[in-house]
Each structure stands twice: as C-alpha cells, then as structure tokens.
A and B are shown apart, each in its own frame.
Chain A
Amino acid sequence: MIDFFQHVINGLSLGSIYALIALGYTMVYGVLRLINFAHSEVYMMGAFIGYYTSRMFQLDQNPSFMNLLLVMIVAMAGCAVIGFVIERFAYRPLRGASGINALITAVGVSLFLQFSGQLGFGADPKFYPQIYQPAGEWSVGGLQVNPLQMIVAVIAVVLMLLLQYIIFGTRLGRAMRAVSFSRDTARLMGIPTDLVISATFMIGSALAGAAGVLVGLIYPKIDPLMGVMPGLKAFVAAVVGGIGNVVGAVIGALLLGLSEEFVVAFGRSTFRDALAFGLLILILLFRPQGLMGQNLREKV
C-alpha cells in the first residue's frame, strides 16, 4: 500500500511537469488551431537558459529558493521571447494558409531548434547545477516524499492557478477566449487578434520554460533532444484532456504521469514511451474530443 502511494506521488509530480508543457500546446491550439510542434523545443530552451543562468551567476554555490525563483523568471522571460519570435517569423506569415503548411513549418522549427541546439550547446548531456536543495526527506506515515518533488508540484499548481486567473479574470484572457471561439468575429469586434495570439504564445512558452527549469531540478541531466519525448507526451496529455481546454490538459497530464509511473512500477519500463501513444489512439478512437472537450460538428 505504501508502495502504491509512493508511485502515486511520483506520478503526480511527473504529471505536473507534463501539465505545464501541455498547457502551452492547448492554449496555442485554442487560438490558432495549430499543433505547435516547436513547443517541446521551447521547453528544452527553457532548461538551457536556466542552466546557463545558474552557471553564469554560480547559483550552485549557495543553493536557495530565491535562486530557483530567479532562474525560473529568467527562463520564463527568455522562453516568452523565443515563443514570440517563433510565432512572429514562422507562423504569422502563414496565417490563412492551409493547416498542413503550418504543421510542416512547425515541424521544421522544431527540428531546427533541436539540431541548432546541438550545434550551440553541444550534443552531449549536461548536468544541471543544484541551485536549490531542500534539506532531508519528508516522511508521512512511512511514505517517503522527496521535498523537491513536492515543491515542483506546488510551483506547477501555482503557475496553473495564475494561468487560470489570466484566462478567466483579465481582459487579455477574455480576448484570448474570444479569439479561440472565432478569430474572424473577434477581429470584427475590434480585438487585436495578432497581439492576442502573440501573447498566447508568450504565456504558453513561459510555462514551458518554467517546466524546463523544474525538470532540471528533478532529473538533472539536460540535452538538446530532451524536449522531444516530454513534448509529444504533453501533447498527448492535451489531446486526452480535450485540446483547447485548459483544465482538461492538466487532468490529461496527471493521468499520463500516473499511468507512466505505474507502467514503470510493473517493470515494463521499455514500453513507457509507447504507452502515451497507445493512450492517444484509444482516446481518439472512442472520445476524439478528449475527456473534457466539446464535440465540434464539422460544418460545410
């Protein structure tokens, strides 16, 4: 039983990182109807920005929570800029072109970042500096909880609540929801759609950047191809939850994190990467709109 709860905790902490990435996918899909393949590379860039920031200020000399916050803010800001640049120069010129063209461009941007990342950062994995080491292990009734995992999950939840506030409590959020409902109508109503789309990219990318730093804390080994698998899985999580739906993305990500953890626990770790896709295919077959999504009828 203890084992079971241990796996639940591990799964939830993995899931909360997937959730941060999945939110970016789902937000961009919501406003643009585009799967931003490059999103997983934004997450990778976030990890590297965090890495270089920590190295530059030698933040591993005296680890503290402030260091973590500082690194996260830098990474989030950097990723927001990257997200803005990607949208401005790769996707905006294709606004109005067919979905396939945008998709191919997204794949291109993703490959470009992966491999120019290898050129710039070096292809070999790097060890993330320990910028924050909470002391000891917390144990609750025999349950060992790594405080780092807990803190990562808490930070993720705080960011998600912040996002929820932005989407449902601000003018920008209202504009985002309007654009996602119908871009043309939103423009006719005087909403600067291009600006809103840029903002959406920046917010989503900032969340991915935060995820990159948090992952560096728990799994301290980063390389330029690290984004591929988590990125795809986060996308799966977004689809499972119902793409375009913020709460759904979080639920899907937690579900995926948990099921992966249990597949590994049952000793089938080589199947771990196939699991996400199996789940995706099942969802698309039986509930294509996702767990929380609404079924959109196709109109001619």
Chain B
Amino acid sequence: MGSATLKGLVPWLVALLTMAATHFLIVPILPSTLSEILVFAGINIVLAVSLNLVNGFTGQFSIGHAGFMAVGAYAAAWATLALRNAGIDLSDGTFIAQVILVGALVFGGLLSGVVGFLVGLPSLRLKGDYLAIVTLGFGEIIRVSLLNLDFLGGARGLSGIPRITSFLLVYLCVVVTVFVIWRLIRSNHGRALLAVREDEVAAESMGVNTTQAKVRAFAIGAFFAGIAGGLYGHYLTILSPAAFDFNRSFEIVIMVVLGGMGSLSGSVVAAVLLTLLREYLRDLAEYTQVDLRMIIYSLILIGLMLLRPNGLLGTRELKDFWRRRPTGKSA
C-alpha cells in the first residue's frame, strides 16, 4: 500500500472521528426529534448510496430496493429477538448490545445480499424496462412472503425489537457504505460496472463479463440495503410488511435520481434533503390527510426529467465543484 493510498484514507478517518465526536458531544444535547431525523437521514443515505451503485454506476434500473431492505430488517430483528429470548440483556446503550447489533446487521446484510444475488442472477439478463418491472415484482414477492411467514409476525409484523440503533452506529454504517462503494467504483470491478453502464455491448466485447458485473453490483447493493433495514428495524422497534411497499422503493429511487445517477455525494445530499422534506411536510400531511410528500416527490421526478435529466449533480461529485477543475464525462 503506497503512501498515496494511505493519504486517500485520511478524509474517511476524519469523517469517522467527526461522527464519533458528534455522537458523544453533540447528540446528547440535541432535541430528540432532531436526532431522530438525523438517524433516518443516515439510514436513507445508506439506502440511496447502495441503490446508486445499481442504478447510477451500473446503469440498471432497479425499483425494488425496499424488498432488500425488508429482508435485512427482518433477518436482523429476528436474530436479536432470538438472542434476547435466549436470555441476553439487550437494554439500550450497553456495549454488548452494540456488538450484537453489528453482528445482526451483518447477518441481515448477508442474507439480503444472497437474496440480491438470487434475484439478480436470472433477472439481470433482462434490460431496462423489463428489469425495472422484475425488481418491482421481486420487491412485491418479498413483501407478500413476509405477510405469509408466521414466525416473522405475518401481517401484524414484528414488534418489541430492542431499540439499540445509535447515532454512532448509523453513521459508522454511512461512512463504511460510502467508503466501500467509493473505492469499489474506482477499482477494476467498478470500471467494469461503469463500462456496463456506458455501453453493454462494447463492454462485453472488451471482455467484461457483463452479467457477472451486474449481479455483483446487485448483490452488494442489496447487502447495504439489508444493513440499512437492520438499522431501521432496531430504531423503530416495530416492523411490518406494509412499511416496505412500492412507495418506499420509489422514495429511494427518487433520492438517487435527484442527487444524480452516478454521483455518491449527490445521493448523500438528496437523501438528507428528502428526509428533511418529509419531516417538515408531516404537519401539512396531517392537516390534509394525504401523503403530500408523494405529490411533491412525483413533481420533483417529472420536473427533473424534463429540466435536468441527470439530477442535481449528474455524474459529478461535490468535490469536483470544490476543486473547480473540469472533469471528464464519466466518473
């Protein structure tokens, strides 16, 4: 590992330290509504960034991300509930609870990744519209299956999940997710993904195994979606299949599209923006009895596609603006 590589790690370490400092110094004095918003923002960042790997960098259009989130959420919650029933104390804040949660998250993520792999293997031979519908269909199949699995609560859902997701853990996951995907798309494998996005036929003739590349992106995206799901379940303490319907998937898609398909920092910014938007629209939605944010989301989508089809940042990253240096067409 050269010193240049080490130097590249510095921002990530700084980010980790900042998160830790925020957790111990700032979060305790924040009003609880604000820290709740921050936690949801973090979970949404993980979701958006992981979907961006599939939709933005690999150029596939998946609209079933909520399904993978559901797999991870249920698997992780099932694991911690099983451990608690075995007599392990999982009250909030203990170190052991955090360690167990990390284990449960990884378990949920891996299971979700396996599901992503299984889903991806057949369906990624399809293109564009068909793939979109199949991912939507798989998301729906996962939701219907959850409705019918009695040991996971069926339609009532799982409740009484220990609330052990902490700010620190969420943002640890955010940093790890962004780091892994950032490094991934700058590796050989990532170049293969970008090549698939730019021109699948050309990529294939250059020797890229396109199906494998796509399935890989899909499985990794599903893994991180599963982790986000685990965090979500252990924060809300209840899970129900209805929380993982189309609208959830579309919400994640909108974050990716708004931020720019192929821009990680765009996804982060969009995830935070849309989380805030949802919180502030909550009062208005209660007044009108209608989920106003979906109207606003849909107008954002249509407007974006007509006026700025590449999203806010396109394929650029925030630091490209900061350096004021012209960049190439693709990241």
Contact = CB atoms under 8 A, between A and B. Distances in A.
Contacts of B132: 35, 103
Given A112-B298, A115-B294, A119-B295, A107 B250 contact: yes
Contact of B122 (A33, A94, A278, A281): A281
The listed residue with most B CB atoms (<10 A of its CB), out of A90, A101, A123, is A101
Contacts of B302: 90, 105, 108-109, 112
Contacts of A276: 137
A128 interface: no
Majority secondary structure of chain A interface residues (helix, strand, loop or mixed):
helix
Contacts of B141: 274, 277-278
A101 B122 contact: no
Interface stretch (B46-54, B144-152, B211-219, B265-273): B144-152
Given A112-B295, A232-B136, A270-B144, A284 B123 contact: yes
B321 interface: no
A59 B104 CA distance: 60
Nearest to B306: A93
Nearest to A285: B122
B289 A239 contact: no
B295 A107 contact: no
Nearest to A112: B298
Contact of A280 (B63, B134, B147, B297): B134
Contacts of A236: 133, 137
A45 B63 CA distance: 24
Interface in A85-117: 90, 93-94, 97-105, 107-112, 114-116
Nearest to A116: B295
Interface string B303-325: 01110010000000000000000
A273 B144 contact: yes
Nearest to A35: B129
B298 A109 contact: yes
In which size bucket is the chain A interface? 35 or more
B232 interface: no
Specify which of A33, A103, A278 lies most central, judged by the most chain B CB atoms within 10 Å of its CB: A103
Interface string A53-65: 0000000000000
Contact of A274 (B61, B145, B289): B145
Nearest to A111: B298
A288 interface: yes
A228 B246 contact: yes
B318 to A, nearest CB: 23
Given A101-B305, A112-B302, A232-B136, A270 B128 contact: no
A2 interface: no
A104 B144 contact: no
Main SS class of interface, B: helix
B169 to A, nearest CB: 32
B132 to A, nearest CB: 6
A235 interface: yes
A285 B289 CA distance: 42
A115 B290 contact: yes
A103 to B, nearest CB: 6
Contacts of A274: 140-141, 144-145
Contact of B295 (A94, A100, A110, A115): A115
B61 A271 contact: no
Nearest to B200: A298
Nearest to B132: A103
A239 B136 CA distance: 14
B140 A277 contact: yes
A6 interface: no
A93 B301 CA distance: 14
Contact of B137 (A99, A111, A228, A280): A280
B92 to A, nearest CB: 35
A281 B134 contact: yes
A106 to B, nearest CB: 9
Given A97-B305, A103-B61, A105-B306, 10 more contacts: A93-B306, A99-B128, A104-B253, A105-B302, A108-B298, A118-B291, A239-B133, A274-B141, A277-B140, A280-B134
The 5 A-B pairs at the shortest CB distance, nearest first, are namely A277-B137, A108-B301, A111-B298, A112-B298, A274-B144
Interface of B: 59, 61, 63, 122-123, 126, 128-130, 132-134, 136-138, 140-141, 144-145, 147-148, 201, 246-247, 250, 253, 257, 261, 288-292, 294-295, 297-302, 304-306, 309
26 contacts: A33-B129, A97-B305, A101-B309, A103-B129, A104-B257, A104-B301, A104-B304, A105-B306, A107-B63, A108-B297, A109-B298, A109-B302, A111-B294, A112-B302, A115-B294, A115-B295, A116-B295, A118-B290, A119-B295, A232-B133, A232-B136, A270-B144, A271-B148, A273-B140, A274-B144, A288-B126
